[in-house]
Each structure stands twice: as structure tokens, then as C-alpha cells.
Amino acid sequence: MTSAPAAGSPDRPAPGEEAAPGAVPVRLDLEGDLIALFRAICDVPSVSGDEKALADAVEAALRPYAHLEVVRDGDAVVARTNLGRQRRVVIAGHLDTVPLTDPPNLPTRVVGEGAHAEVWGRGTVDMLGGVAIQLALAAELVEPAQDVTWVFYDHEEVAANLNGLGRLMRHRPDLLAGDFAVLGEPTAAGIEGGCKGTLRVEVATTGVAAHSGRPWLGENAIHAAHEVLDRLAAYEAKEVEVDGLVFREGMSAVAISGGIAGNVVPDRCVVTVNYRFAPNLDLAGAEAHVRDLFAGFDVRVTDGAPGARPGLDAPLAKDFADTVLALTGGQPAAKQGWTDVARFSALGVPAVNFGPGDPLLAHKDDERCPVGHVTTCHAALREWLTR
């Protein structure tokens, strides 16, 4: 296997698209070296909100393949076979990344050789290795055993209302219809079932403003926040078994704000709390739990997304797990974060996470993905789609 330089090469813009002045269109070679493709994708900066160049490249790369119907929605691209198979599988991955470091952790570089080689750079873990696998297989598999819908979407790393998969659910739910879905999020080449839900709330304390030279004339709202923090410090997170997998919950203060000036006793303080809950709870249940914990305080919900049960008891999911684990070993585990498997679950489509990269390295400055993860996931997914 070679690791060719990843820079895109000049090419004409995709049909109906014009390159921005001074921009160099990118050509992705879907039939060449897989790791070179992986690096080429990563080397197109695609921070959330700036996915257009990569979406253009993905669309242009897929359109020449006659066995694929290609649909563009904003900066999401969907390609699917229509072979009349009895079952349809949806395989999805997001194109965006979190912001680059300073100095930028792009272009990618390869560190090590052979089995120990790793690709370093933004997006290598979360989750452009999965996208590279999707693109290579979309081009190669002209007659897969099931019909396949390949989804490449935008805005996953930001607010839920911007999510490109959510937009497709609203605009074109028919494009996401299927019997089973695989999300290429990083799982270190293992299978992670379901995901935890997430709820973000603001817990407010109030006081009475006063001059800080005469604090006895006021009541300090920041001081009052100690009770919120004490309850969080004493909180014992549960481990909850759902469909045979164990989800570890968490309740964390993620921000605190208060005060208007250095000489004013603050009359308001807000502690932002994030609750990650097992998928046996729905959003209403999660909110009730948080309000109970912070009884006596003003609690305002600012964001939330339900989790997803593992779904590994569905026939296609079981078949997928059996095939993949025969090649990779190990056992399915619970996804301890939130992923878009929850969106598929909401559509009634069982879904799992399966992709290259250690999820503990996602978003880190030293983000890096073993080459072996990419090749293993590619081989396992190809085996399942062709058997």
C-alpha cells in the first residue's frame, strides 16, 4: 500500500458548479489507493459551515458512476443504487470537522511504516476515514448484495438544528429510508451500538446587585451557585444496561457565567449543565431527572437530542455484527457519546456505529488514525455488502 501525497489536482468544476475565484477544484480518485484518498479528503478543509469545497468534490467524484443516482441537498450528497434488492442499507458519514489548530494540523502526514503507520491531521479520526471508505466502496460496488444508500452530510459538529442529516430528514426522508444503517463514526474498527442522549440546561441563581465595596447590601448570585456545584460534585452517575450493552451516564457543569463589572456584586449567575443519559430514557424523562436534581433553582432547557437503543437484535444488524466481528474480533460495545444513529432510530431504522479511528482522539490537536483501522473497516464493510 502506498501513501501518495494528498493534494487535490486541478479539474473542471462539477456540472452546474463554478469554482470560486482563485480556488483550485479538487479531484478525488475513488479507484486508486485508499489511504491516498483518505488523505486527499482530509486535506480539503471542511470545518462546519465550510463544507462546500469537499461536498463539491464528493459530488463530482460520484456523478460519473452510472450505477448511482446522485442527489445534492445543500452541502449534503446522497448516492444510491436502485437494483430492486429486497433490502436497503444506508451508510452515512459527515463531511465536516471541528476547527483547525493554530498552526493548522493540515495537510495530513503519515507517521510510521507498515502496520504501525498512522495518518495525522484534522478529521483523520472524526470522521473522514469513514467517508473515504464510503466513497471507495460506492464506486466499486456496482451490484452489492443489498441496495445501498451512501450519505455524505454537513454540519454534524455544531448545533443540532443545523445538522445536514436532520435537514435531509425534513426535506427528503425518502432518501434515508432503509432496513438498517451504519454510521462511520470512529469506533477503533469495532462495533458500537446505539448512543447516549444529551440534554443541556442552564441552572440560574439570583441575588441582589450592590457595590462591591459594600457587599453586605447585596446578595452574591455567584456565591449562591456553590449549591448547584455541590449537587453536581455529589452526583453519582449510573451505569445502565440497555439491550445487553452498558451505557455510563454523566452530569457535568460545562460553563459558568455571571457578573457585569469588577465592582458590582452580581445579581445573576448561570451554570450550564450537560446530562448524557442512557437510551432507556427519552428527552422528557431526562429533563424530569435534571429538574429533580436541581429542585429549587430556575432550570431552562437549551438543547437536547434523544439517544438510540443498540438495535443489534434486528436481523440485518445481527448479520452485520456477525460478519464484521468474524474479521475484527471483539464484542459490540455501547457508544458512550451521541451520534446520528439517534436520527435513524427516530425513523425506525436500526443503526450502529462502525468506523476507523480511536474515538478518544476525536477533536484532539494530535488527532491521528491508524492505517490498519481504515483497511480493516473497508475490508469488513466490503465483505458484508457483497456476501
3-state secondary structure of 145: coil
pLDDT of residue 377: 96
Q: Which residue has the cell 468506523?
A: 355
Residue 204 identity: A
Q: Which domains does the chain have, with CATH numbers?
A: 34-194+308-386 (3.40.630.10), 197-305 (3.30.70.360)
HEC string of 241-300 equals EECCEEEECEEEEEEEEECCCCCEECCEEEEEEEEEECCCCCHHHHHHHHHHHCCCCEEE
Which amino acid belongs to residue 181? A
Spatial CB neighbours of 217, under 8 Å, sequence gap ≥ 6? 208, 210, 211
pLDDT attached to residue 21: 46
The C-alpha cell of 16 is what? 452546474
Examine the residue annotation and report whether 241 is marked as an active-site residue of this protein: no
Task: Return the SS3 of 377.
Answer: helix
**303 grid coordinates:** 438543547
Q: Is 96 noted as a catalytic residue in this protein?
A: yes
Q: Where would I find the H helices in the chain? A: 34-42, 52-62, 128-140, 164-171, 221-224, 226-234, 283-293, 315-328, 341-346, 371-386
The total of other beta-carbon atoms located within 10 Å of residue 378's CB is 21
Q: What is the mean pLDDT of each run of 10 residues along the chain (387 residues)?
A: 34 38 76 98 98 98 98 98 97 98 96 94 98 98 98 94 95 96 96 96 98 97 98 97 96 98 98 98 97 98 93 90 90 93 93 96 97 97 95
The pLDDT of residue 108 is: 98
Query: Which residue among the candidates 75, 126, 147, 156 is catalytic per the annotation?
Result: 156
- pLDDT score, position 23: 55
Residue 278 cell numbers, joined: 442512557
- C-alpha 345/C-alpha 275 separation (Å) is 20
Residue pLDDT, tens place only, 312-369: 988 999 999 999 999 888 899 999 999 999 999 999 999 999 999 999 999 999 999 9
The per-residue pLDDT for 330 is 87
User: Largest alpha-carbon pair distance within the chain?
Assistant: 78
Rounded to two decimals, the pTM is 0.85
Q: How far apart are CA 58 and CA 55, in angstroms?
A: 5
As beta bridge partners, residue 94 has 153
**Residue among 43, 56, 59, 96 flagged as catalytic:** 96
Instruction: Report how far residue 309's alpha carbon sits from residue 256's, in angstroms, rounded to the nearest whole number.
Output: 32
